[in-house]
Structure 1
Amino acid sequence: MPWDRSAPHPLLRTWTAGRGLRGEGRTAVVVGSGLGADAEHLASLGFRTTGFDVAPTAVRLARERHPGSPVSYEVADLLALPAAWRGAFDLVVEVYTLGALPDPPRSDAARAVAGLVAPGGTLLAVAFRRTPATGPADGPPFPLARAEVEALATGGLEVVAVEEHDGPHWRAELHRPA
């Protein structure tokens, strides 16, 4: 499966390591968690972690791959999330999910991702980067323009950083004031 990784995404791993991030007493959610590598990474840092995916098979395989894991793996649709998840997570991690969607419904999905962030919380997003040279792709994946990444700053979220990385990738950090 092209989205199967046995290790957390390198841009997530370096971001957490660079901050010495610890999650004790805090919650995290991984959007489109696939087979669980990113969710397991956050749980290893002490976050009470939820990983969700629209694909029941991915959720089943994540549970099988990580028996005894503290991660709560759930089947959920980004465009129809449980009301209890709104503003409920201290850390929201989104890697490639928005770029897997055409627009529409990508804009609605981006608002749903932003809506998961609790007051005082952080959103970390990783996406393929669209450049003037590459232009829009027929996708998926659909590389995102900088403006599309910055558009995650909705509902009170503020852009902390949008970084260009090799690949080409964006890594964006956003924060919701407490």
Structure 2
Amino acid sequence: MRGLVPAGAACLLSLAASQTGHAAEIKTNPAISQAGYQAIFNQLSAEPLRYGGLSSIHTRRILVGLHQTGPGTVAGEMMRLDSAMRPVDAGPVSGTLTPTTSAQLSHCHLKVTLSDRDILLDGPCSATLLSGALTSHPRPSQLWSQVTNFISPDTSVSQYWLSRDTWQAAITPAPAP
């Protein structure tokens, strides 16, 4: 069960990275200061279950740190970094996982809350892998957008496949060309 939580974290990060727009649209969340990002990174690094992912889309990096909060429940943090290791966004992670023996797959359901969207990760997981469907739910800010979103929710769906063994690669800067 303990190995399932880190795998879930890595999955969340990869999904979040794949659900964003083009590289030119990537901007740091103004609600989080540079010191705030450093504090989140420090917390991620201290979590007992750490996972990272490298996204092929715009060479982004995803970090997830989780800890168990009770039987079948986890909580932690997620952070997205751009190719230059600059923070793009961060947010809390919470979720559940179905207990199982280490030789079997479990079912994981995780939620990442970002400044502009919620990302749901749902699918099979094991001690070393997390995979399944990622659903991104943007939070509209304008009243008309809220009404439109209520009538026809704006969601995007993707697939994810992450390994907990990618933490070190995700926190290691790429060599200079």
Fold in common (TM above 0.5): no
Larger radius of gyration: 2
Give 1 or 2: higher strand fraction. Answer: 2
TM-score (norm 2): 0.26
Relative contact order: is structure 1 or structure 2 higher (C-alpha 8 Å, sep ≥ 6)? 2
Tell me the TM-score normalized by structure 1.
0.26
